[in-house]
């Protein structure tokens, strides 16, 4: 029988951490029961393990009783890191990082949920590898771990035995994904039906709320960002924008990318599409009306940029998020 360790990251826990742990235990327990009911032998032993036995109450609401301490686990086959609060390293967190590295070097696979990617990246294992995390943490993650290839639009990444997933309760999709990997497709389908979790979701792009990176200290870039945001209905030329701030195009691009993580064109597109999303969510405006309001005149171009950023067409997005789109007249 193989071994799964569900990590309890002391000092980095919030209610999201607890939700990940409880949800994972419940679904994996059901998967194991279904597997044995089909006449198969048990495959995995699951334990919740932490650094120390002390119980910490999260939000004065709930505390978890550990099954084991990581120091007592000599070898595990899969480590699952739940959502966790990013923060400074402590002596305890360094012990956790060291243990994860040791287990990985001994052949363990690793899965991180949501902001648990910060713990995984802190081990150094992810340098040069693909990773996802909650879209709201993307800028902070890139700043702290520039060597990691972050794909915050992806719901799940899978690279050489390391799995990561996007934000919040999308950890449920990762659990189903792991069940298919560690059991089979039929067990994954069964659990998806029992817990009503959508199978085979691949993107979290439609959930992203773009706000832009503003905490960078480059006043010229901040002024350019403000100009873009205040002139959504204009077709903005990057050449004209760089001239407006008396800076060469190449240097303007370089500073903008360094400050925001986006090219000026990408930033303008994201600002425009975020405004279009809000209009599609909350008004009765047609797709064309929204398109013109955010500075596009070509339907095909607007549709392509919208799908690239959200993973959906404008019409699909409106049907998904605008309640009035379902009203029959």
Q: What is the pLDDT of residues 257-300, one digit of tens each?
A: 999 989 999 999 999 999 999 999 999 999 999 999 999 999 99
Q: Is residue 212 part of a domain?
A: no
Per-residue pLDDT band at 325 (split at 50, 70, 90): low
% of residues, the chain, pLDDT over 90: 83
Res 60: pLDDT: 84
Token couple for 37: 């009911």
Closest CA to 45 of 63, 25, 65: 25
Answer yes or no: is pLDDT of 210 > 80.
Answer: yes
Q: Is 165 helix (H, G, I), strand (E, B) or coil?
A: strand
**Shared-domain flag, residues 150 and 12:** yes
**Shared-domain flag, residues 29 and 96:** yes
What does each C-alpha distance from 302 to 23, 90, 291 come to in angstroms? 39, 48, 7
**Shared-domain flag, residues 82 and 165:** yes
- CATH code (residue 303): 1.10.10.60
Q: Is residue 319 part of a domain?
A: yes
**Shared-domain flag, residues 264 and 293:** yes
pLDDT, one tens digit per residue, over 31-56 is: 999 999 999 999 999 999 999 887 77
Q: Is residue 276 part of a domain?
A: yes
Token couple for 210: 């773009």
**Shared-domain flag, residues 228 and 289:** yes
- Kindly report which listed range (20-24, 103-107, 313-317, 325-329) carries the lowest average pLDDT score: 325-329
Closest CA to 97 of 11, 2, 3, 4: 11
Question: Which residues, listed in sequence order, are joined to residue 165 by a DSSP beta bridge?
Answer: 156
Res 326: pLDDT: 55
pTM greater than 0.75? yes
**Shared-domain flag, residues 198 and 76:** yes
Answer yes or no: is pLDDT of 327 > 70.
Answer: no
Beta strands of 84-151 (E only): which ranges? 109-112, 130-131, 149-150
**Shared-domain flag, residues 235 and 317:** yes
d(CA 266, CA 248): 18
Q: Let me know the angle formed at the C-alpha of 147 by 5 and 171, rounded to the nearest 5 degrees.
A: 35
Using the 3D structure, point to which of 206, 230, 264 is the last residue of a domain. 206
Average pLDDT, rounded, for the chain: 93
Using the 3D structure, point to which of 181, 206, 231 is the last residue of a domain. 206
**Shared-domain flag, residues 227 and 197:** no
| Residue 183 domain boundaries | 2-206
Neighbours of 170 (CB within 10 A): 21
Q: Is residue 211 part of a domain?
A: no
pLDDT, one tens digit per residue, over 85-116 is: 987 788 888 999 999 999 999 999 999 999 99
- CATH code (residue 55): 3.40.50.880
In the numeric block, the tokens 């899978």 are attached to 158
| CA max distance for the chain | 73
**Counted domains in the chain:** 2
d(CA 191, CA 286): 40
């Amino acid at each position: 029988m193989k071994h799964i360790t569900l990590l309890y990251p002391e000092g980095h826990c919030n209610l999201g951490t607890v939700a990940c742990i409880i949800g994972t235990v419940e679904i994996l327990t059901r998967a194991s029961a279904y597997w044995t009911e089909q006449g198969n032998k048990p495959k995995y032993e699951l334990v919740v393990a932490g650094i120390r036995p002390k119980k910490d109450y999260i939000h004065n609401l709930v505390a978890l009783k550990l099954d084991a301490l990581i120091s007592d686990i000599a070898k595990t086959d899969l480590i699952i890191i739940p959502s966790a609060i990013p923060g400074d390293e402590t002596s305890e967190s360094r012990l956790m990082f060291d243990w994860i590295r040791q287990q990985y070097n001994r052949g363990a696979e690793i899965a991180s949920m949501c902001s648990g990617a910060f713990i995984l990246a802190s081990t150094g294992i992810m340098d040069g590898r693909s990773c996802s995390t909650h879209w709201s943490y993307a800028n902070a993650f890139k700043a702290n771990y520039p060597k990691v290839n972050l794909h915050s639009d992806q719901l799940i990444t899978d690279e050489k035995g390391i799995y990561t997933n996007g934000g919040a309760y999308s950890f449920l999709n990762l659990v189903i994904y792991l069940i298919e990997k560690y059991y089979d497709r039929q067990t994954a389908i069964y659990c998806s039906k029992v817990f009503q979790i959508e199978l085979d979701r691949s993107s979290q792009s439609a959930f992203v709320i773009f706000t832009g990176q503003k905490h960078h200290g480059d006043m010229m870039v901040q002024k350019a960002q403000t100009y873009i945001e205040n002139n959504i209905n204009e077709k903005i030329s990057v050449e004209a924008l760089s001239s407006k701030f008396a800076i060469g195009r190449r240097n303007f691009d370089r500073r903008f990318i360094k400050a925001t993580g986006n090219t000026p064109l990408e930033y303008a597109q994201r600002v425009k599409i975020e405004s279009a999303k809000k209009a599609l969510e909350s008004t009765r405006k047609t797709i064309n009306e929204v398109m013109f309001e955010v500075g596009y005149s070509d339907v095909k171009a607007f549709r392509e940029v919208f799908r690239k950023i959200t993973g959906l067409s404008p019409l699909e997005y409106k049907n998904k998020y605008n309640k009035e789109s379902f009203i029959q007249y």
